Amino acid sequence: MQTKRAIFPNKFLPYALLAPQLAITFVFFFWPAAQAVKQSFYKEDPFGLSSRFVGLANYTKLFQEPDYLNSIGRTAVFAISTTGLALILALIFAVAVDRLIRSRNAYTTLLLWPYAVAPAVAGILWWFMFNPTVGILPYMLDVVGYDWNHRLNQTDAMILIVLAASWKQISYNFIFFLAGLQAIPKSLKEAAAIDGAGPVKSFFTIILPLLSPTSFFLLVVNIVSALFDTFAIIDATTAGGPAQGTNVLVYKVYQDGFIGLNLGSSAAQSVILMAVVILLTVIQFRYIERRVQY
Amino acid sequence: MVQNNTWLNALTHLILILGIVFVAFPVYIAIIASTRGSFDFLQGLVPLLPGTEAIENYSRILNAGVSTSGAPPLGLMMTNSLVMALSIALGKIFISILSAFAIVYFRFPFRTLAFWMIFITLMLPVEVRIMPTFKVVADLGLLNSYAGLTIPLIASATATFLFRQFFLTVPEELMEAARIDGAGPMKFFRDILLPLSRTNIAALFVILFIYGWNQYLWPLLVTTDSSYYTVVMGIKRMADVADSEPQWNLVMAAVVLAMLPPIVVVIGMQKLFVKGLVESEK
């Protein structure tokens, strides 16, 4: 790992400097994580009076439980649609803004502020627009003959949270795509134009390949965010319903733990999710180090 | 751009205007709803033009709150959110600049281990390990306190990583010169490194402030006493009334007020914000 050529010789100072962060990380991260791992091997009664060791039973039971398998499926549908929608729209907006000169800053400002909106608030905004009684969108859909009701229809509920989550995510992706586009040398685009490539051809043969590091980075970040930031959106709108229709993995950890009080199963789900995140972090880190050091 | 195609330029503007409409429409509806009286929603459709009760709605929500849902006045919740956002932002910056300094400018046993212990938490949100973390905080007696709201969220790797990346680009000569002049590590840190990091600190502050302000699940769990409610979680309580439609005009006034501070910060510090965002993820 990189460091400075010249360093300070102190023996104890570095530990003192690291102490606050390591202490907090240990108490609020490693200790709870270890507890989750331990708990996932035990079966506890909901009142916390007794617990017994059950080995891997919590895990094996999880993968036989239809609700959990359903939750994996819902999470996949949600993550793929949100990531796809947010990435494609953001890329279109970024390419459009990058073409402009005078109005570039104005458009950027108008597109980036949803980053500041809390996911829970984004959920409530869309929930209000889609509200079957007073919402404007069900009214418009009714005109074309579609009876919208996200309280009863699972597909409607899924569309609602996908829209709310993508709406929130677009601005983030947009900022990164725009930064990536502006790092592409002008001379490459000019060379392509001189060789007779039209805007569409030069986009697919020059711009898109040069954007691939940014796109890969955003893909991982978007998947992580679709897996976890969704919690607030779902809790503020559908609460996992109707009939488990939007009960994604991270919401199920909470529901089984805090509401269902099935602590062993909730802990096992936590451990699985932690493993997924750590895997994604390692993938991301390998990519970061490669880009920093070339 | 090389090609100067009128049609393409028109299309570009059209796409962007559609994009802005898509992005702004939900907020427009919320602002309109917040200026209406509560009877305007009984006809079954959200009005699309502003009403006349804006001042009444906003002053009622700020000072009195929505009594039917047991939520305190919004003024109090916004103060709590502000305390939480500021403590998280400043706390994270403080602990992570120190640990990045230790990792970059010293060589000591377990340095790589320490780095990895911090780094592994990079993308691990509190939602994933929610049950056991809640238990730890409960055992420490931190429920319903500002400490419980903030300290568990202060540990995260993003800021440490950004400062590490930045310190690695600081020229070696500065440190050598400081040592030759007899400056110890803390003097070097205070007089040279800290002033150099000013822009990074400001950029990071914008991002962390928004992160802290927008927290939802954690305040939902650790506060049962309504005087510690934060605004983002409090709105959910207002919108969630049993057996009847919520008072949409008041809920939307609360939504607008809850969005305002982070949006003002992002737009007001746009350059720093973009810089902080793009660099912290590099």
Most confident segment among A30-39, B115-124, B252-261, B272-281: B252-261
- In chain B, where the domains are located: 6-280
Task: Say what the pLDDT of residue A79 is.
Answer: 92
Task: Say what the pLDDT of residue A293 is.
Answer: 39
Chain B CB contacts of A274 below 8 Å: 124, 128-129
Chain A CB contacts of B265 below 8 Å: 116
Q: For residue A132, what is the nearest residue in chain B, using CA coordinates?
A: B44
Write the pLDDT tens digit of every residue in A126-160.
Answer: 988 888 777 788 888 878 877 788 778 888 889 99
Task: Say what the pLDDT of residue B189 is.
Answer: 92
Of B26, B45, B282, nearest to A126 by CB-CB distance is B26
Per the CB < 8 Å rule, is B127 touching A27?
no
Task: Say what the pLDDT of residue A32 is.
Answer: 86
Any idea which residue has 């057996």 for tokens?
B243
Q: Give the count of Cβ contacts less than 8 A between chain A and B.
A: 308
For residues B37-53, one letter each, b for 16 or more C-beta atoms within 10 angstroms of the residue's C-beta and e for the rest, the string is eeebbeeeebbeeeeeb
Task: Say what the pLDDT of residue A89 is.
Answer: 95
Distance from CA of A259 to the nearest CA of B (A): 11
Most confident segment among A19-23, B70-74, B130-134, B238-242: A19-23
Look up residue B71 and give its DSSP letter: P
Rounded Cα distance between B254 and B56, Å, is 13
Write the pLDDT tens digit of every residue in B222-268.
Answer: 888 888 888 888 888 777 765 567 778 888 888 999 999 999 998 88
Q: Does A232 touch chain B (CB under 8 A)?
A: yes
Contact at 8 Å (CB) between B32 and B49?
yes
Q: Is residue A12 part of a domain?
A: no
C-alpha B222, offset from chain centre: 18
Residue B123 has pLDDT above 80, yes or no: no
Q: Does B10 touch chain A (CB under 8 A)?
A: no
Nearest 5 degrees, angle CA B271-CA B275-CA B276?
A: 115
Here the contacts of A128-132 (C-beta below 8 Å, separation 24 or greater) are A128/B26, A128/B29, A128/B30, A128/B33, A128/B46, A128/B248, A128/B251, A128/B252, A129/B25, A129/B26, A129/B29, A129/B46, A130/A156, A130/A160
Structure tokens belonging to residue A150? 């996200």
Mean pLDDT of B196-216: 89
Q: What does the radius of gyration of chain A's CA atoms come to, in whole angstroms?
A: 24
Q: Which residues contact B3 (CB under 8 A, 6 or more apart)?
A: A193, A198, A199
Q: pLDDT band for position A91 (50/70/90)?
A: very high
Chain A CB contacts of B232 below 8 Å: 118, 120-121, 232
Q: Is A23 helix (H, G, I), strand (E, B) or coil?
A: helix
Chain B CB contacts of A112 below 8 Å: 266, 270, 273-274
Per the CB < 8 Å rule, is A21 touching B155?
yes
Chain A CB contacts of B221 below 8 Å: 258
Question: How many structural domains comprise chain A?
Answer: 1
In the stretch 60-99 of chain A, residues with CB closer than 8 A to chain B read 89, 92-93, 96-97, 99
Q: For residue A289, what is the nearest residue in chain B, using CA coordinates?
A: B282
Task: Say what the pLDDT of residue B1 is.
Answer: 46
Task: Say what the pLDDT of residue B261 is.
Answer: 92
Residue A9 has pLDDT above 90, yes or no: no
Per the CB < 8 Å rule, is B99 touching A4?
no
Q: pLDDT band for position A294 (50/70/90)?
A: very low
In the stretch 150-169 of chain B, residues with CB closer than 8 A to chain A read 151-152, 154-155, 160, 165, 168
Among A121, A111, A130, residue whose Cα is nearest residue A174: A111
Chain A CB contacts of B136 below 8 Å: 27-28, 31-32, 35
Task: Say what the pLDDT of residue B270 is.
Answer: 85
Q: Is the peptide bond before A242 cis (omega within 30 degrees of 0)?
A: yes
Among A134, A236, A240, residue whose Cα is nearest residue B245: A134
Q: Which residues contact A232 (CB under 8 A, 6 or more apart)?
A: A118, A119, A120, A123, B216, B217, B232
Q: Is residue A200 part of a domain?
A: yes
The CATH number of the structural domain formed by B6-280 is: 1.10.3720.10
Q: Is residue A285 part of a domain?
A: yes
Contact at 8 Å (CB) between A259 and A251?
no
Mean pLDDT of B128-138: 82
Mean of per-residue pLDDT scores for chain B:
84
Q: Between B155 and A125, whose confidence is greater?
A: A125
Q: Is residue A235 part of a domain?
A: yes
Chain A CB contacts of B99 below 8 Å: 17-18, 20-22
State the residue range of the domain holding A217: 61-120+167-293
Of B23, B107, B154, nearest to A24 by CB-CB distance is B154
Residue A80 has pLDDT above 90, yes or no: yes
Q: Is residue A99 part of a domain?
A: yes
Q: What's the CATH code of the domain at A75?
A: 1.10.3720.10
Q: Between A7 and A272, whose confidence is greater?
A: A272
Residue B282 has pLDDT above 70, yes or no: no
Q: Which residues contact B133 (CB under 8 A, 6 or more apart)?
A: A28, A29, A32, B126, B152
Per the CB < 8 Å rule, is B217 touching A254?
yes
Chain A CB contacts of B251 below 8 Å: 124, 128
Mean pLDDT of B182-186: 88
In sign, the C-alpha dihedral spanning A81, A83, A84, A86 is positive
Give the DSSP letter string of B212-281: HHT--HHHHHH--SGGG--HHHHHHHHH--TTS---HHHHHHHHHHHHHHHHHHHHHTHHHHHHHHHHHT
Q: Which residues contact A1 (CB under 8 A, 6 or more apart)?
A: B111, B112, B115
In the stretch 105-164 of chain A, residues with CB closer than 8 A to chain B read 107-122, 124-129, 133-136, 139
Please name the amino acid found at residue B153. L
Per the CB < 8 Å rule, is A117 touching B103?
no
Q: Is residue A204 part of a domain?
A: yes
Per the CB < 8 Å rule, is A179 touching B274?
yes
Residue A4 has pLDDT above 70, yes or no: yes
Rounded Cα distance between B101 and B85, Å, is 24
Contact at 8 Å (CB) between A35 and A209?
no
Count of residues making up chain B = 282
Q: What does the radius of gyration of chain B's CA atoms come to, in whole angstroms?
A: 24
Contact at 8 Å (CB) between B256 and B231?
no
Residue A30 has pLDDT above 90, yes or no: no
Residue B2 has pLDDT above 50, yes or no: no
Mean pLDDT of B147-167: 85
Q: Does A44 touch chain B (CB under 8 A)?
A: no
Rounded Cα distance between B54 and A117, Å, is 21
In the stretch 245-274 of chain A, residues with CB closer than 8 A to chain B read 250, 253-254, 257-258, 263, 266-267, 270, 273-274
Rounded Cα distance between B95 and B121, Å, is 14
Mean of per-residue pLDDT scores for chain A:
85
Per the CB < 8 Å rule, is B128 touching A250?
yes
Q: For residue B44, what is the nearest residue in chain A, using CA coordinates?
A: A134
In the stretch 52-71 of chain B, residues with CB closer than 8 A to chain A read none
Q: Between A141 and B167, whose confidence is greater?
A: B167
